[in-house]
Each structure stands twice: as structure tokens, then as C-alpha cells.
Amino acid sequence: MNSKIRGAGVIAATLVLAVVAAGSWFALRGLTGASCSGEVPLALAAAPEIAPAIQAAADEWMSTGAAVDGTCVKVVVEASDSVDVAAAVAGKHGASLSGVGQASGTATTPDVWVPDSSTWLVRLTSGGAAAFDPGNGASVARSPVVVAMPEPVATGLGWPEETPSWSDLLQGITKGTKLRAGIVDPTRDAAGLSALLALTSAAAQSAGGNVQSATTGALRALATGRSALREDLVAKFPRSSDASTVAQALSMAPLSEEDVIAYNAKKPPIPLAALYLTPEPVALDYPYAVLPGLDPVKNSAAKGLFDRLGTDAFKDRLAAQGLRAADGSWGGGFSAPQGAPSPSAGAPQPMASDGPDKGGVDPKVLEQVVTGWSITTQSGRMLAVIDVSGSMNQQVPEANGATRAEVTAAAARRGLALFDDSWALGLWIFSTKLDGNRDYRELVGIGPLSAQRSELERALPQVRPKDGSRTGLYDTVLAAYKEVQNGWEPGRVNSIVLFTDGQNEDDPGGLTRAKLLSELERLKDDERPIQLVFIGIGADVNEGELKSMVKSSGGTGGVFITQDPTDIGDILLRAISMRGTPGS
């Protein structure tokens, strides 16, 4: 069976593979009379569609005496969704992955990981896992990302003689009504993310002067047909050949070539066409990632197994699973979809093996697309609080002399454009003695964007530093926390995002640090969490001070520090795309 296994299917597949592996290992050792002794356990987690091929290769290797320095190697392959392993690795290395959330309490990290895409490795590194530096990383298989369409829909667009462009599809889903697009949440699915990169690139190229508006339109159009699970998405394709059913069902979705092969193998009433668009989106490349911290013996075992994954026999095993070899060629029995690029036609190579960031995916662009998606597809309630102390008047040479306050307001305006009307937002400013004896002033109270978007846009120019004022941070944080808590709403991320370029300064009559932390501890409510996020600008920010507030407030949120104020736009998008990730 070629189809990808999800949910309970993954658990069942894992148990079967583990039992088969254990039984095979003991039986094969007995039959071959291997001269090795002892045991080197090697735990490998692989995307469900490639796990059977890797387990078969491992069994063959063990049957011929797999050993390291005379010690027998025992390989156990676990079929694991890439997003689940990514969550476990992120938790272990302190990374934040937008949309992924926390790993389950039973999740463990393997010795070797073969996710479906190197984009997972890029996201982990750019998400804060600085110490995450897996070895090897070479591709062991490949599956192009295609646009899957019911054949009657594809035929109506000229397929197979003609293939629409990304711009054509973008126009169809944002301007027309005939194409019903779907996507698996790109924050949790590599094929969806690959297609999202291609579509947002097409949007930017066709946008003229308004790139952000076009990109946001594309994200929102796709978001209306999103699914959390692959199996839920493909279930939306037509199950009957009558014209009415076809017209009302899902008419296009980015999937892997392997997904289309697996779907059509079940002989559905209407097969799927695989459209290979150009420029080709980033393929699923199945990197062989040896996770950090392995001892030399396990490292040698991992290398021994890897050597078995480059053989012709392994290529044939991949073909049986609907997968290509790493170079884009395929083995015997591969059921290529109509229009599939031939291996002899120079199929694009997978991502390079000398590091996931060498394969043509810019980590910064990847992060922007992921965070943009997260923001446009979630509903939140947020209070933005901006520092207007005297130091925020400092000019930023990289921003053509704009002040820190002006750069911050511009970043807030950029973020505002991404939020749809389901959001609720408010805006405060703070320094010292800004409103009588109060260190903060409300410019716009927290309310629905549907009613006050224009008011917020008009308020942003009022973010002007107060000459000679200082940073009344503690009183402001407590007041903002109480404000968000008093209006807390279920079903949303209730958050505070505070921008500052300093630390709390002497403020006669104001809170002490100890008193603030004590109050946050007293007020926090695990049933009504508040995400406290700080964006610090420059060298005068006290990171430890900010982290202590996040911790005392319940640990939901984070601290982001940059020396370059021009970075805060991207940092803001990343910060508000967080979904209850524990702060560090």
C-alpha cells in the first residue's frame, strides 16, 4: 500500500515495523551465523511513505552481518510524521516552529531522522535551534511537488497538452469562482509549504507595486480550503463522476507525486492528474539527518545504513512506494503519472547534501512565508505596546535616517495589513509620566479590526518619542497584562507584544522588579493564558529582565532581541505567529 499513513495509521505502522524488525533481526542472525556479537541499537524515524523501503534495506543489511567493530547493529525504523519529530526536536533544542506546537509527552528524538523535506531542518535552525547541526543531510529519495486536480478539471484547463502557470492558478483562486483550492496546513506539511512558496512568489511577481496586498490575498484564498491532515484534504476530491459533484468538490491541491500515485492506485471514480508546474516548487527530498550527540559507534552504524540507501535495490524499493531515487530517476515498477518529467530529461536535482540551506531555499524567505501564513489563518486578540522614551528618537542609518520609533510604527503597519477582520487589536505607547502619573497611554483600545482598522492606522503616526523621558517598563507591563486578562477571550491567542529599546529606569513611585514579578505570578491563570512577547531593539535591552517577566507571567511567549532595528518587521511577524509556544 503506497498511501501515506496518518494518525492511528502511523501508530499501527510503527508497531508492525518494530515487531517485524525485531523478529527479522533475531531470525536473520541465527540463519547467517553472523560473527558479530552484542548489539548497537540504531533508532531511525522516517516519513511513513519511505519507512517500509528503509526498513527493508536495513533488514537486508542486518541479514548480511551488519556490524561496527565486531558489534552487531540492530536498526529499528519508526514510521513517524515529519511534523511530530520536528516538534520533539524543537522542544529538545529550544526552537520555536510556527504552527507546530509542542511535542506529545511521549515523543522522543531518534538517532537518525529521514523527514520528507529538508525544509524541516532549515526551519529548526532558523527557529532558534542554533545547536541543531545534523550530520550527513544527503537526500535518499525524491518526490516532486505537483498540483493535483481531478482529471476533468485539468482537462478543462488544457491538460495534458497545456499546463497552467502558477500565475494562472493564482488568478483562478483569487479572482475566479470555478477553482476550489485546498492545501494541507503549510506550517505542518512540507508539500503544502513548497507550493505556498511558489504561489507567494508568483503573487509578488504579478503584484506590481502592492506585493503585500497580493501575497495576503493569495494566503487568504488558500486558507479557506485548508485541512489539518492530508487524509482530510484528499477526501474532499470528487467521489462521483457526475458533473455536479465534480463542480462542488475540491478541484486543486498541492500534493507530492507520491500522493497522486497512491491515490490513483486505489482506482477512485475520478483519478487525479498531476500538474508539473514551472518553475518547479521545492521537491520533497528526504534528507538522511544524523542527529547531534551520537557516539562514534552509532555514527558508524548510521553511515553503514546510509551506504545501503544508494543502491539499485533500494531504488526499486522506493519505486514500489511511489518514490524516485535521490537523483530524480526511478526504479523498476514505478507508476509515473501522465506528464511526469522523464529521468532522462534532466529532472531537477534535490536539495544539496552539504547543508539544507544550500538547496535554493532562503531561510529568511521560508520564515516569512510560514509566519505570514500563521498570522493570516489564526484569530487573535493582541495589545501592541510601543516604547516612546527619548532614546527611540535615535536615527537608524539603514532605514534612511528614520528613527527607531518610526521604524517600529512601520513594522506595526505591515503587520496590521496581514490581520483579517476576525482579529481584535489595541495600541498603547509608554515612557514615563506619559498620561499624568501613568507611564502609558492608550491610543486605541482592544477591539475588533472590522470596526477600528482605520482608527489604528490613524493612530500609528502618534507613535512619537517624548524628549527627555525614560523607560517606565514595569508599570506598563503590569497594566497591559491586566488589560488583556480582563477581556480574555477563549478560542484566540490573547497576547501582548511590547517593543522597547531599553530597560526599566528609575521611576519614582513605580513598581520594583520584585513587585512586578510577584504580581505577574499572582495574576497568571493556566486556564486563561496570556502570551507575553518582547521585541528588544539595540544593546541597552536587558534580556534577562524581559525573560524573567515572561516566565513569571506563565512562560507563554518569548523574547526577541535585534541590534538592527530594520529587522523588527520580520521579527514582529514571527513573534505574533507563535501559538502558545513556551518562552525561554
Q: Distance (Å, rounded) from C-alpha 203 to C-alpha 213?
A: 9
Q: Where in the chain is the domain with CATH 3.40.190.10?
A: 8-142+285-363
Q: What is the pLDDT of residues 388-400, one digit of tens each?
A: 998 899 888 888 8
For residue 181, give the DSSP letter: B
222 CB neighbour count, 10 Å cutoff: 26
Options 3.60.15.10, 2.30.110.10, 3.30.70.100, 3.40.190.10; CATH for 8-142+285-363 is: 3.40.190.10
Q: Distance (Å, rounded) from C-alpha 93 to C-alpha 68?
A: 29
What confidence category does residue 34 fall into, taking pLDDT thresholds of 50, 70 and 90?
low
Burial class from Cβ neighbours inside 10 Å (0-12, 13-18, 19+) for residue 13 reads: buried
Q: What is the pLDDT of residues 148-192, one digit of tens each?
A: 999 999 999 999 999 888 888 888 887 777 788 889 999 999 999
Higher pLDDT, 115 or 561: 115
Q: What is the pLDDT of residues 517-527, one digit of tens each?
A: 999 999 999 88
Instruction: Kindly report the pTM of this predicted structure.
Output: 0.71
What confidence category does residue 479 fall into, taking pLDDT thresholds of 50, 70 and 90?
very high
Task: Check: CB of residue 101 under 8 Å from CB of residue 580.
Answer: yes
Higher pLDDT, 317 or 93: 317
CATH class of the domain whose range is 378-576: alpha beta
For residue 279, whether the previous peptide bond is cis, meaning omega lies within 30 degrees of 0, is: yes
- E strand map for 506-570: 531-537, 557-562
Q: How many CA atoms lie within 13 A of 387 on its CB side?
A: 30
Q: What is the pLDDT of residues 229-248, one digit of tens each?
A: 899 999 999 988 888 888 88
User: Does residue 128 surpass a pLDDT of 70?
Assistant: no
Q: What is the pLDDT of residues 429-454, one digit of tens each?
A: 999 888 888 999 999 999 999 999 99
Strands 37-46 and 112-114: parallel
Between 104-118, 435-449, 490-504, 560-574, the lowest mean confidence (pLDDT) is in 560-574
Arithmetic mean of pLDDT, 211-239 = 81
For residue 13, what pLDDT is reported? Answer: 44
Highest mean pLDDT among 175-189, 256-270, 380-394: 256-270
Q: Distance (Å, rounded) from C-alpha 276 to C-alpha 167?
A: 14
For residue 25, what pLDDT is reported? Answer: 43
In three-state secondary structure terms, 162 is coil
Q: Distance (Å, rounded) from C-alpha 286 to C-alpha 265?
A: 22
Q: What is the mean pLDDT of the chain?
A: 84
For residue 72, what pLDDT is reported? Answer: 95
Burial class from Cβ neighbours inside 10 Å (0-12, 13-18, 19+) for residue 168 reads: middle
Q: Where in the chain is the domain with CATH 3.40.50.410?
A: 378-576
For residue 120, what pLDDT is reported? Answer: 94
Arithmetic mean of pLDDT, 475-490 = 94
For residue 98, what pLDDT is reported? Answer: 77
Q: Distance (Å, rounded) from C-alpha 391 to C-alpha 403?
A: 9
**Residue 515: in which H helix or E strand, if any?**
helix 513-523
Tell which residue, 132, 128, 572, 116, has the closest CA to residue 368: 572
CATH fold label, 145-275: D-Maltodextrin-Binding Protein; domain 2 (3.40.190)
Q: How many CA atoms lie within 13 A of 529 on its CB side?
A: 19
Q: What is the pLDDT of residues 68-111, one digit of tens each?
A: 999 999 999 999 999 999 999 888 877 778 778 776 666 678 99
User: Does residue 3 surpass a pLDDT of 50?
Assistant: no
Strands 531-537 and 493-500: parallel
